Structure 1
Amino acid sequence: MSDQPNDQLPKNEDRKGRLAKLFATDILPQSNNWEDTETFLGEVVKVLLKYICEENQRETKILEFHHPTEMKKIIDLTIPDEPQPLEELVKACEQVLSLGVRTGHPRFFNQISCGLDLVSMAGEWLTATANTNMFTYEIAPVYILMEKEVLRKMWEAIGWDPEKSDGIFCSR
Structure 2
Amino acid sequence: MANTSQFSCKASAADGGTLEPALRDLTQPLIDHAEGQLFLNEAFKIIVEEVLRKGTDAKEKVCEWREPDNLALLLDLQLRDKGESQDRLLQRVRDVAKYSIKTSHPHFFNQQFGGVDYHSLAGRFLTEALNTNLFTYEVAPVFVLIETEVLKALRQLVGWSDGDGIFCPGGSTSNMYAMNLARYKLFPEVKTKGMWALPRLAIFPPKGSELY
TM over 0.5: yes
Which blocks of at least 5 consecutive residues in structure 1 are unaligned? 1-28
Equivalent positions of 1:1-172 (< 5 A) are 30-31=30-31, 33-51=32-50, 52-161=52-161, 164-171=162-169
Structure 1 Cα separation of the partners of residues 90 and 30 of structure 2: 19
User: Using the alignment, how far apart are the partners of 1:69 and 1:137 within structure 2?
Assistant: 47
Structure 1 residue 41, shift from structure 2 partner: 0.7
> Closer, same or farther in 2 for the Cα pair 1:120/1:94, shift >3 Å?
same
Q: Residue type of the partner of 1:119?
A: H
The C-alpha deviation readout for 1:52-103, integer Å capped at 9, x for no partner, is 1111111001111112222223221111221111221111010011011111
Q: Secondary structure at the match of 2:53?
A: helix
Aligned to 1:88, what secondary structure does the other structure show?
A: helix
- Deviation per CA, 1:84-124: give whole Å up to 9, x if none: 11221111010011011111101111223322222221111
TM-score by length of 1: 0.76
Number of residue pairs the alignment of both structures matches:
141
Please say if residues 54 and 60 of structure 2, whose CA atoms lie closer than 8 Å, have aligned partners that are also in contact: yes
Higher relative contact order (CA 8 A, sep 6+): 1
Residue 25 of structure 1 corresponds to which residue in structure 2?
none
In structure 2, list runs of 5 or more residues that go unmatched. 1-28, 171-212
Instruction: Tell me which amino acid in the other structure corresponds to 1:40.
Output: F
What amino acid is aligned across from residue 171 of structure 1 in structure 2?
P
Bigger radius of gyration among the two: 2
Distance, in Å, in 1 between the alignment partners of 2:124 and 2:69 is 33
TM normalised by structure 2 equals 0.62
Deviation per residue, 1:117-143 (Å, 9 max, x gap): 222211111111111110011111111
Task: Measure, in 1, the Cα distance between the counterparts of 2:64 and 2:84.
Answer: 27
Distance in 2, Cα, partners of 1:107 & 1:168: 34
- Partner Cα distance (1:149, 1:169) in 2: 13
Q: Distance between the aligned counterparts of 2:165 and 2:102, measured in 1?
A: 35
Q: CA 1:71 to 1:152, structure 2 compared with 1: closer, same or farther past 3 Å?
A: same
Q: Distance in 1 between matches of 2:69 and 2:163?
A: 54
